[in-house]
Structures are given as structure tokens and as C-alpha cells.
A and B are shown apart, each in its own frame.
Chain A
């Protein structure tokens, strides 16, 4: 068990977004998080990331310490005037990870970006920028990967690469929580579906 939410509630101005939500996250499992707009999916993801605190309830780390979280949303986290390589180097340096060219090139290669390593990331297409963002996340080898509609605005090739890498990460033991607006397309890659609607969370197995 990687992380456990117990009776989590979150309020805006005393109005509940969701109430008494419980969820268990295990290594190697992929959970699709679905629900209508405004249901609180992104808020729940930020609670899982430790970025915001729940109004009520507990976030439990059975292993004793918070997992290494990789977070991906529609924003690309890139500094446009830095090169792709320097963007990766900055995030690696912050984590105290190896950041020599020979450490970073294989990650860029995996994302099909090695030919653009020295290019300013601001010149990248949306798909390339998101692949660079994915490289940033994979470089940190997260225990828990949180994906908040990362596929928004991606071309087909980038989308295929993103889905393949997410699948590979799940097989490698990374726990993945994935917000998607196309559960029918993505449920084949998931172990379970968590539906957040009308303030309540229901979890059921994904049937492809």
C-alpha cells in the first residue's frame, strides 16, 4: 500500500466539494479518476500530491513517508527560453539527481526529443513540450504518478507515446491516478475506475 485516503472532505466557503472520500492506492495499479466538471477531481489529485490539505479526514502513508510524486497536467512546466536539456537539468538538480548530459540524453531519447536537446523549449509544439514534461516526470522515477488530463491538445503521435509510457510506468510498479474525460478510451489501460460525482467517490474494477 502506497497511500490511503480516509474519510477525506474538502469545503469551499463551508460548501462541500466532496465528503467522506476514501481511496487506497497500491503500487503498480492504474486508477482512472472520472466525473463531471466541478466534481473536485483536480482538488482530490492535489490532496494526493500533498499540495493542499483536506478540510477533514486523513492522508495515511503506510510506508511511513510520503511517496515521490510525479505530477503531470495540461501545463508543461517548461521554461521557454531554456533549452530542453537545461530544463531537465534544472529539475534534476533540484532533486539532487544526476544531471550530466549522459544522464539526461537517454531520457530525451526515450521521448523522441534528443535531436532537439539544445533547442529553446519555447519553440516546441504542444506535443513536444508535453513530452519534455513527461521526461521530467520519468526522470524522477516517481512512486506515485498523478495525471490531470495531460493529453489535452496533444497530436495523435504524442498521445500514443504518452499512453505507451504511462502503461510502461504502471507495469514497472508506479502507482498511477489519471484524470480523464474519455474513460471509454482509457479504461483498457486501467485496473480500476474511481467516479467522483455529487460529492461521493465510487470505485469499481475497470472492465475493458
Chain B
């Protein structure tokens, strides 16, 4: 399962690098959100750590919608999905390949969003920044697991971005809340917060989403008559 997943992820990353459109749009959308929220600040005013963490995770959430839509649309353009399904690989490896590629792209985008949050929203990282980094990685795992599953559900729909967003945002709430709470602690000087609990909750949801995707993906990723 791992080998074909890596082959699919490598191919997806090459496709994204080749066309650039998908990732560039996602980056621009995220950066635009951060910039627009920065306009709400009066000159010299600093956004609260909670507000900044919320804007960061909102940007990440919208970014992943575009990333996973792009990743799944690659398989529809010329019927490639049929080729994947006819290959002698477990269907879960398709999901894992998409999740790996999506997680890489999301993390890359967040590496751009982070400095934008510091600059535009005037934030400073506290001593807990390694916890913040761990929280981003843990939340990204769950977001990628769910995005790769639900992106396949919305395939072929004319309003796929809207449908995908409507399905995924409510389900992502625990992960986003965890990320926001830990992000708030990281951006608050001298705070020690209850980040361990939130990290545990995020890890639990990673496990739930991953298990659900392993079971459900073969059922939702199939051809129509």
C-alpha cells in the first residue's frame, strides 16, 4: 500500500509543480485572507493572539479545499481515475497518495502563511513555538486524511468547491479548534496553556479520520454506470 501511495503522491506533486495553478491559487487565497484581516487593525494596533491563530487556520482551511480539489481533478480530466481503479493496487493507496501530496502542499502553504501572520497581524512567537509546529503537523495529518477522502466525494460535481467546503468544514472543527487554542498559547508571551489536552484531541481526531478514510474510501471512490 505504501509503495503505490508514494508513486501517486510523487506524480501529484510533479503535476502541481508543472501547472502551478492549484497551489498558487491556494496560496493567494490564504495570503489575501491574512492581508484583509490586517486591514481591520488600526495603525499600531496588534491583533489578539487568538484572532491571529484563527486567521492562520482559516487560511489553511480554505487553502486545503483548493489543494484537494486540484489533486482530485487531476484524475478526472482524461478519465485517469479509471486507470487507477484498474491498477493492481489497494484503493486505500490512492487515498494515501492524495493525503501525502495534500499534506506536503498544505504544509508548504503554511510555511508562507506563518511569516505573513507575524508581519501583517504583528505577532511574535513565544517560547512554545516547537509545540506550535507540532500542532500544525498533527492538525495537517487529520486535515489531509479528511480532505483526501471528501475530495473524492465531491468529484464530478459542477459546484465541487462549494460542496466540498460544506461537507468538510463542520468535520474539521475539532482540529481547527485545537490548532487555534495551541496557536493562541504559542503567540501569547509567557503563556503555558492547556495545549497538551488539545494536542491529544487533535491526535485522536487524526486517528478517527484516518480509520474512517481507510474504510470509506473504497466505497466512495468508484465509477458511475
Contact = CB atoms under 8 A, between A and B. Distances in A.
Contacts of A69: 86
A76 B85 contact: no
Interface stretch (A24-32, A46-54, A160-168): A46-54
Given A46-B223, A51-B223, A77 B89 contact: no
A79 B74 CA distance: 7
Contact of B7 (A76, A82, A90): A90
Tier of interface size on chain B: 20 to 34
A52 B223 contact: yes
Given A73-B79, A77-B79, A79-B74, A51 B85 contact: yes
A103 to B, nearest CB: 16
Given A10-B225, A51-B86, A91-B87, A79 B15 contact: yes
A204 interface: no
A169 to B, nearest CB: 17
A54 to B, nearest CB: 11
Contacts of A129: 78
B82 A51 contact: yes
B183 to A, nearest CB: 35
Interface in B9-37: 11, 14-15, 18-19
Nearest to A51: B223
A4 B88 CA distance: 21
Contacts of A80: 77-78
A95 interface: yes
A160 to B, nearest CB: 23
10 contacts: A76-B79, A79-B11, A82-B14, A82-B18, A86-B14, A93-B7, A94-B4, A94-B8, A120-B18, A129-B78
